Amino acid sequence: MLAIRGPRVATVDWRTHTLIAETPLRLTGKPSFHLLGLPNIRPLSGTSLLAMKRKEAPTKASKSSARKARPEVLEYHLAPSVHEADGSIQWPAPSFQINRAREIIRQCAAAGKTTLVVPDKDADGLSAGAILRHTLILLGLREDLIKVHLLSKGTTVHSEDERSKMAAHEPSFVFVIDHGSRASPALVRDTVATLIIDHHHATERDFPAGSEHVSACESPPVATSALLTYEICEPLHDDVRDKCAWLCVVGTHGDLGNTIKWEEPFPDMKDVLKKHSKKVLNDVVSLVNAPRRTAKYDVLSAWTALCDTSEPRSILDDKRLKSARAEINEEVERVTHTAPKFSRDGKIAVFRISSKAQVHPVIATRWAGHLNSKALEVVMVANSGYLPGKVRKCWFVGRGERRPGHRHSLFASCNHCSIMAYR
């Protein structure tokens, strides 16, 4: 007979978890807790259940927070800055580029010759162009000498037709704003002073021959074209801030969204937001962006609205802009319910629509946020009605591709998207 001394059995009140008794355990033969209907566990050995801590069950809130935990995203304005050779922060662009841009603007105003402003069609580009126009007028350039060239639907500043139209103004100075850039022959003529103001990615070789440039792309947090133009122009005249600060906010919110924080290195715009109200300025962004999306492509109405007022609230009553926004909302509603076509592996969703309006980016944005499949990598909208004989495409990364640490082959997916769009 085998007698085991030492292990003890604890008797516990299951309701209060308090120890009632603790008695020695005596077993005959080979001990087996399976005989007692218990799992194969070791008996308590000199340890009371009172010394054991009861682990609290996770609450519903803790489960939810653990499941929804997302990696923390740094505020835009806190992006690590780069520095100049003297140790100062390089923002919103290299100082030598900013100083040279200011020299060209002063020379332009002093020359009193025909000046051509070529802004992009969205809130950022148009606001940047309006800031430059106001600055030139404040510096003494006659208003009638300032011409604007707005590109036609579906073209770029490098299109031969657009080059001819720009040259027809016979300008002495050309300012191209927010169009991106690439290496090319001179946009107008080699003898015309040309300044590129931009924030899209470009290397030193990615600019037209004979042009000079100021680019924010290598100076994080990357400024929008409106913010870059404002920072260039603000020191040139005492009234630039009063006339143009709200335009800077409109352009910046147009590209970066209205949750951006106006903290260093960004300029302090608290007084501007208080004076005009954040809601009004955000409504202006929506209205100014509407005409470029319409079938008529009436960008001139948005440009005129920004240039003809010092009070942004008045833009909210602009009938043409309100009509354009209503037109786009109706068109988006018409095509947004188009059923998608999925690739066999579920990685790609393609929506085929036909609309003369530029609604394909809006539809792509909506569906990219709505489709929840983890397999989904790319959402693409192919619009066959925007330009005759062409298919305009817009794609967004799906939720599956946004998973932290997830590696993807976006370009391969986009090429597959293009093939699917034509099937």
Q: What is the CATH number of the domain that holds 148?
A: 3.90.1640.30
In whole angstroms, give the CA distance from residue 104 to residue 110: 10
Residue with tokens 């976006």: 410
* Cα radius of gyration rounded to whole Å, the chain: 32
- What is the rounded (10 degree) CA torsion for 123, 129, 135, 136? -160
Residue 61 within any structural domain of the chain: no
The residue type found at 395 is W
User: Domain containing 280: what range?
Assistant: 95-324
Residue 234 within any structural domain of the chain: yes
In whole angstroms, give the CA distance from residue 50 to residue 48: 5
In whole angstroms, give the CA distance from residue 377 to residue 400: 6
- Our separate counts of H helices and E strands in the chain read 12, 11
Residue 400 within any structural domain of the chain: yes
Residue 414 within any structural domain of the chain: yes
Residue 396 within any structural domain of the chain: yes
* Res 393: pLDDT: 87
In whole angstroms, give the CA distance from residue 196 to residue 177: 6
- 334 Rama class: left (phi>0) / alpha (psi -120 to 50) / beta: alpha
DSSP helix/strand/coil, 216: coil
Do 138 and 279 share a domain, yes or no?
A: yes
* Res 399: pLDDT: 55
Q: What are the DSSP calls for 150-197, one per residue?
A: -PPTT--TTSHHHHHHHHHT--SEEEEESS----BS-SS-TTSEEEEE
Residue with tokens 């020299």: 103
Note if the pTM is more than 0.85.
no
Residue 409 within any structural domain of the chain: yes
Do 233 and 290 share a domain, yes or no?
A: yes
* Res 374: pLDDT: 86
Do 147 and 227 share a domain, yes or no?
A: yes
Residue 87 within any structural domain of the chain: no
From first CA to last CA, the distance across the chain in angstroms is 85
Please, what are the averages of pLDDT over each run of 10 residues along the chain (423 residues)?
47 48 48 42 45 54 56 86 96 99 99 99 99 99 99 96 98 98 94 97 96 98 99 99 98 97 97 97 98 97 97 97 98 95 94 97 90 90 96 75 48 49 49
Do 106 and 237 share a domain, yes or no?
A: yes
Do 343 and 302 share a domain, yes or no?
A: no
Do 344 and 213 share a domain, yes or no?
A: no
Do 360 and 221 share a domain, yes or no?
A: no
The side-by-side arrangement of strands in the sheet containing 378-383 is: 341-342, 348-353, 378-383, 392-397
Q: How many domains does the chain have?
A: 3
What would the two tokens of residue 57 be? 């069950």
Do 220 and 262 share a domain, yes or no?
A: yes
Q: How many residues does the chain have?
A: 423
* Res 369: pLDDT: 85
Do 265 and 378 share a domain, yes or no?
A: no
Do 41 and 148 share a domain, yes or no?
A: no
Do 368 and 233 share a domain, yes or no?
A: no
Last residue in a domain, options 324, 350, 370: 324
* Res 346: pLDDT: 93
Residue 89 within any structural domain of the chain: no
Do 35 and 129 share a domain, yes or no?
A: no
DSSP 387: S
